[in-house]
Amino acid sequence: MKYKVLEEELENGLKILIEPRPERNVTALKLNVKAGSMHQEEDNQGIMHLIEHLFLNGSEKYPKERDISRRISGKGGYFNAVTGFDYTGLDGLVSKKHQEELLEISLDAMFRSKLNKLENEKKVVCNEIEMMDDDPENQGWDLLSRMMYKNHHLMKIDGKKEIVKSLSKQEVQRKYKELFHPANAFLVLVGPVDPEEVIGKVEKYTQGLGTSKTVKRNKLMPLNCPGRKELEKDVNLSYVTVGSHTPGCKNNRNYWRMELVKAILGDNRSDVGRLFEKLRVEKGLVYSISSDFYSFSETGCLNTTFACSENKVEEALKTFNEEVEALNEISEEETEKYKTYLKGLNDRDRDDVSSESEKISDFNLLFDMDQLKQYDSQVDELTVEEIRKTIRKHLEPGKMHQSIVKPKSKD
């Protein structure tokens, strides 16, 4: 089944993407502004994360604290705010009969927020930062990004405690006014919705909202100095992250190549993948292992993280490098197997309105809906020769960065 996303742009600049699924009983919503940690400066790290928290603390129509989320959760739905590298927004899931209320609440919370309870939410955000700092995999990623990017603060979505604490009401209001307006936003709806009716409702609920000037986005500045950094923490296992620079997605072919390479290595959605098979199943060197791929217009990052006993780190790294080198000659038959896997994942996403709305949102940020509508054909067109070439070029062991979060020494 192919995607049939309908697109509409209102006079105020808000882009609407609708995938009608009349056979479903629930509707998934995503309302995002095209701004996240990439739109922060070093001296205001965490400001987008903080604004995200303030969405749920009152708006013009729903001024009471927590009233916004409870109106949805009280009907058995889901409603939450989230921040990413290139977006900040709201996610919702609700039964068909309550979808208009979800739509109205989301638009009011996003574009007419009162930004209430600032000092209280600073404490909550700081608690979340502490929680992330206690996560060894997150610490490994933070260490790796410092090695890979000159302006690594752009990759730190949660922010820095001391900066979040210092942010003033005026700074938050200024950032909110700069970025959170319809011309810098898009709305995704997947479920039993009537497109014409929805567009009319959105026009009504966003009436009177202004636009703003073009939003500035910072660009990542890669550092090409491969190396290894270690950090001792109160952990029992060692957490190893290996990362490499990849091309940006201005050329969409690069995106599809790297998605297939990630699947071949082994993503976090199944136990399929060469690295899982070799390091976990065959040799028993690691407890967990998965690869991920971050894609931006100017650059990208492919990384693999695994957890193992401290005395297995070097053997696991050696086996990782050997397996990556072996992939230089991956067969056409195996390449086809992983293409089938990718297309199967896409089918799974198509069968879940929340996953489908997330995929539509991701592709709207990176490309356009044509790329998504051609998902299977884009995967099918990939050749074994270009996958081998991609692996040789971007997964050369001596040119990859390594971060290791390991147990504190007993000395």
Q: Is the pLDDT of residue 1 over 70?
A: no
Residues 170 and 263 in one domain: no
- Would you report the helix, strand and coil content of the chain in percent, each value rounded to 5? 50, 20, 30
The whole-model pTM stands at 0.94
Q: φ and ψ at 200, to 5 degrees? A: -65, -40
Contact at 8 Å (CB) between 75 and 127? Answer: no
Query: Crossing angle for the helix pair 118-133 and 47-54, nearest 10 degrees?
Result: 120
216 within some domain: no
221 within some domain: no
The three-state secondary structure class of 124 is: helix
Q: Is the pLDDT of residue 82 over 70?
A: yes
Unique residue bearing structure tokens 């309908």: 6
Which sign does the torsion angle of CA 308, 311, 317, 318 carry?
negative
Query: What are the tens digits of pLDDT across the range 4-43?
Result: 899 999 999 999 999 999 999 999 999 999 999 999 999 9
> Structure tokens of 404?
């290791």
Domain ends where: 156, 172, 205?
A: 205
Query: What are the tens digits of pLDDT across the range 122-132?
Result: 999 999 999 99
Unique residue bearing structure tokens 């692996």: 391
Query: What are the tens digits of pLDDT across the range 225-265?
Result: 899 999 999 999 999 999 999 988 877 899 999 999 999 99
Residues 169 and 234 in one domain: no
Task: Say how far apart CA 214 and CA 152 lie, in whole Å.
Answer: 24
Q: What is the CATH number of the domain that holds 389?
A: 3.30.830.10
210 within some domain: no
Residues 329 and 367 in one domain: yes
Q: What is the mean pLDDT of residues 131-157?
A: 94
Of 256, 369, 283, the closest CA to residue 18 belongs to 369
Residues 55 and 200 in one domain: yes
Residues 299 and 189 in one domain: no
52 within some domain: yes
Task: Say how far apart CA 357 and CA 178 lie, in whole Å.
Answer: 26
Which residues are bridge partners to 218 per DSSP? Answer: none
Q: Is the pLDDT of residue 66 over 80?
A: no
Residues 263 and 137 in one domain: no
Strands (E), 164-227: 185-191
Q: Characterize 388-401 residue by residue with b for buried, 16 or more Cβ atoms within 10 angstroms of its Cβ, and e for exposed.
A: bebbeebbebeebb
Contacts of 127 by beta carbon, 8 Å cutoff, 6+ apart: none
Residues 157 and 232 in one domain: no
Residues 254 and 291 in one domain: yes
From residue 83, alpha-carbon distances to 52, 187, 225 in Å are 7, 15, 29
Contacts of 323 by beta carbon, 8 Å cutoff, 6+ apart: 274, 275, 278, 279
Residues 313 and 394 in one domain: yes
Contacts of 294 by beta carbon, 8 Å cutoff, 6+ apart: 85, 300, 301, 303
219 within some domain: no
Residues 81 and 174 in one domain: yes
Residues 322 and 403 in one domain: yes
Task: Say how far apart CA 309 and CA 242 lie, in whole Å.
Answer: 17
Of 123, 56, 49, 116, the closest CA to residue 88 belongs to 49
Range of the domain at 357: 228-407
Domain ends where: 205, 236, 270?
A: 205
Contacts of 120 by beta carbon, 8 Å cutoff, 6+ apart: none
252 within some domain: yes
What pLDDT, on a 0 to 100 scale, did the predictor assign at position 170?
96
Q: Is the pLDDT of residue 212 over 80?
A: no
Residues 183 and 235 in one domain: no
Number of domains in the chain: 2
Which sign does the torsion angle of CA 131, 134, 135, 138 carry?
positive
236 within some domain: yes
266 within some domain: yes
Query: What are the tens digits of pLDDT across the range 393-402?
Result: 999 888 899 9
Contact at 8 Å (CB) between 401 and 227? Answer: yes
Which residues are bridge partners to 191 per DSSP? Answer: 20
Task: Say how far apart CA 248 and CA 297 lie, in whole Å.
Answer: 5
Query: What are the tens digits of pLDDT across the range 343-386?
Result: 999 999 999 999 999 999 999 998 888 899 999 999 999 999 99
